[in-house]
Amino acid sequence: MIVYFEGDGTRNKPINSIADAIEKALGSMGIDAAERNLWYFSSVGEYAALLEKSGFRVRGCVGGNPSHV
């Protein structure tokens, strides 16, 4: 199986646009967006550990830092 995850603090352009719009909308209502931020981007190593804990075998990664896998 091949899977794709964004990770380690990276957000792609569409995600940035959505997150920025939500932050702006909440801010205009006096709501601290950081308190309600549901976005989470773990490191390659964190994802690998979670997958392996669930029974998957992680053999490597492309585009990330495979030294952490």
Given this model, what pLDDT does residue 10 score? 57
Q: Is residue 36 part of a domain?
A: yes
Q: Is residue 2 part of a domain?
A: no
Q: Is residue 7 part of a domain?
A: no
Q: Is residue 4 part of a domain?
A: no
Find the domain containing 45 and state its range: 13-68
Tally of domains in the chain: 1
Model confidence over 22-66: pLDDT tens digits?
Answer: 889 999 999 998 888 777 677 788 888 988 999 998 887 776 554
The Cα-based distances of 6 to 22, 26, 42, 52, 57 in angstroms read: 19, 24, 8, 18, 19
Q: Is 41 exposed, middle or buried (0-12, 13-18, 19+ CB in 10 A)?
A: middle
Given this model, what pLDDT does residue 4 score? 65
Rounded to two decimals, the pTM is: 0.47
Q: Which residues contact 57 (CB under 8 A, 6 or more apart)?
A: none
Q: Is residue 6 part of a domain?
A: no
> Which tokens sit at 62?
């492309």
